[in-house]
Amino acid sequence: MELQMILEHIEKTDSYKRFGKVERVVGLLIEARGPESRIGEVCYIHTKLEDQRIMAEVIGFNEEKVLLMPYSAVSNIAAGCLVEATKKSLSINVGRSLIGKVIDSTGNLLDGTKLPKGLKEYPTEQPPPNPLDRPRIDDVIPVGVKAIDTMLTVGRGQRIGIFAGSGVGKSTLMGMIARNSDADLNVIALIGERGREVKEFIERDLGPEGLKKSIVVVATSDQSALMRIKGAYTATAISEYFRDLGFKVNLMMDSVTRVAMAQREIGLAIGEPPTTKGYTPSVFALLPSLLERTGTSKNGSITAFYTVLVDGDDLNEPIADTTRGILDGHFILDRRLAEKGQFPAINVLQSVSRVMPNIVDTEIMTLIQKARSILAIYQENEELIQIGAYKKGSNPAIDHAIQLQPKILGFLRQEMDEKIDRITALKNLQAILNGSSR
């Protein structure tokens, strides 16, 4: 019986290596005649240098021609170079011994040393979990940032967008969440950052304490568009691997906008039409397929934080708009708050955790709504109050807000290295709100 199966297997096995030939190179795009392959397949291009082969990926077809893009820089490629199909899409090696390490998009250690032993091969492209197999989000995951843990509670397996311009505290916030949260493991994807920023993030924001329970995937801005996209896939795949093992994983991706920009580069190179803001249709196909992979599955959970870059305060920019529609919540980092030294600069009134009402009890929900309403009343009347046009005593709700708003803002402020648990934070907020009702 067994022999029968082996024989059948041998019969089905394709023992040919399939080769094609490079015909044209335009920018980063390589056109080859053959090999027989499919989209997303990894191919090796054998260059004119002996023993050198460059990894590339099939990204499209044009009539009979195969369009490829290399993972690394195109050098030594010439017309006539052989293109070898591998019948596989990109895989990485993953396992527990990767925890505490910094890797690149193809899963190699960034410092150039050898990967630890005992890792398992795992494809970077995976289908999202079946929607019917996804448990509902019903647990709180404390992240150790009090503005979030109280006003914008996150559920285990929730996917959040962090919308912010440059320099308002994204990296610091991600570092705080990585160090303080309740997750078993952080997977952090740094996509399209400058090299200097990567080192800064790992050493300053994450620190040795954070790195100990993290795997960092890095694709800097100088790397090819394909590598930048693969960084997002690789980080997502690593999260999925650990989710399958039952881990509570935190995935943080900075930034998903840079992933979209990389896809736009590839889309334009293969001749897709630019649509909104020059983004090509494939960008809007990539976003949901990538962001749907995280969340809960029957084995574990991936709580995900995706940063989205917004110029000025334009939340209707196409990538911001699309991601906001896919994710289960958005936190807005506000430059005006950062300028006032209000860190973390989360604008709680503009931010939403869509899962929160399902995971916290009504008592806490009432408390939070009270705090929100005080901030809202103050904000509505802020101009009047600031110029002294509001007369004290004319409206009890405004008087109340004037008294409490600074205390609530004070409560929401948190130094980078300050750690506070959720229950204490909630008690502190309650004390502020109660203190005034006397």
Cα distance between residue 175 and residue 202, in whole Å:
9
Among 74, 110, 409, 416, binds ligand ATP (CB under 6 A): 416
CB of 343 to ligand ATP, least distance (A): 3
Cα distance between residue 376 and residue 359, in whole Å:
23
* Nearest to ligand ATP of 46, 170 (CB atom): 170
* Nearest to ligand ATP of 25, 260 (CB atom): 260
Among 167, 278, 406, 410, binds ligand ATP (CB under 6 A): 167
Residue 211 tokens read as: 């790195």
CB of 337 to ligand ATP, least distance (A): 10
CB of 405 to ligand ATP, least distance (A): 20
Q: Is 171 in the site for ligand ATP (CB under 6 A)?
A: yes
CB of 188 to ligand ATP, least distance (A): 13
Cα distance between residue 38 and residue 60, in whole Å:
8
CB of 344 to ligand ATP, least distance (A): 5
**Of 49-57, 284-292, 393-401, 411-419: span binding ligand ATP (CB under 6 A):** 411-419
Determine if residue 406 is left, alpha or beta; phi over 0 gives left, psi from -120 to 50 gives alpha, anything else beta.
alpha
CB of 276 to ligand ATP, least distance (A): 23
**Of 3-11, 40-48, 146-154, 414-422: span binding ligand ATP (CB under 6 A):** 414-422
Burial class (CB in 10 A: 0-12, 13-18, 19+), 50: exposed
Residue 197 tokens read as: 């920023």
Binding mask 307-346 for ligand ATP (x = CB under 6 A): ------------------------------------xx--
Contact 397, 379 (CB under 8 A): no
* Nearest to ligand ATP of 129, 344 (CB atom): 344
Among 86, 172, 276, 379, binds ligand ATP (CB under 6 A): 172
Q: Is 257 in the site for ligand ATP (CB under 6 A)?
A: no
Contact of residue 331 among Mg ion, ligand ATP, none (CB under 5-8 Å per partner type): none
Cα distance between residue 258 and residue 218, in whole Å:
12
Q: Is 15 in the site for ligand ATP (CB under 6 A)?
A: no
Binding residues for ligand ATP (CB under 6 A): 164, 166-172, 343-344, 414-416
